[in-house]
Structure 1
Amino acid sequence: MFLSALELRNIIESSFLPKRCQCSLSPDLKMTVKVYADRETDTLDLLRTNIDARHLNSCRQIHELIAGLRTELAHQHVHTEHLHAERKAL
């Protein structure tokens, strides 16, 4: 890992603004990323665990991780909106 844990957390957390994002790193460099629905509640929009931070050795790898998380978040929103639409139709 070429960045400190604090720098890495800051980059990832700030990449999801204005949403609230919490990134934690275990001693064995396994990362957990939580993205919340809003700033007031603890409702999670996205939870990813066991991300191996030892492989985040370049800006490109960090960017790819963030892009992947954003894609998952977007798919989660589409799926949730689809479920809400189906419930309204019933």
Structure 2
Amino acid sequence: MISILELRHIIECGFLPLSCICTSNPDGSLMIKVFEPSSDHVELLVTGVKTENLTSSRAIADLISELHGEMRVMKTKYASGMGVQGSWQ
């Protein structure tokens, strides 16, 4: 099993060159905040990400890929004037 500290580090590195802060909640879930480092503009904020299935590099990569996809969708909707909020579990 991957430690929560290592898991957080892997997720945070998965969003470079953007900044990412990944924190663990008391219930064991994660909160992931991705933002532009120069402006602090939040690109993505998800809460309640369950960690029990994040036990392999493939599962972690799939999560990061899905979150990148969410960011692309939100940028597209925002650009077209259809604001959106997302949550991933």
Give TM-score scaled by structure 2 length.
0.82
Summarize the alignment of residues 64-79 of structure 1 with structure 2, pairs less than 5 Å apart. Answer: 64-79=62-77
* Alpha-carbon distance in 1 for matches of 2:31, 2:45: 7
Alignment pair present for 1:47 and 2:45: yes
* Alpha-carbon distance in 1 for matches of 2:72, 2:7: 22
Which residue pairs with 1:25 in the alignment?
A: 24
Query: Which consecutive unaligned segments of at least 5 residues does structure 1 have?
Result: 85-90
Which residue pairs with 2:81 in the alignment?
A: 83
> Runs (4+) of structure 1 moved beyond 3 Å?
none
Which residue pairs with 1:7 in the alignment?
A: 6
Give TM-score scaled by structure 1 length.
0.82
**Higher helix content, 1 or 2:** 1
Larger Rg: 1
Query: Which consecutive unaligned segments of at least 5 residues does structure 2 have?
Result: 83-89
Question: In percent, how many aligned pairs have the same letter?
Answer: 35
* Alpha-carbon distance in 2 for matches of 1:5, 1:57: 10
2:61 to 36, 60, 63: 63
Structure 1 residue matching 2:16: 3-state secondary structure: coil
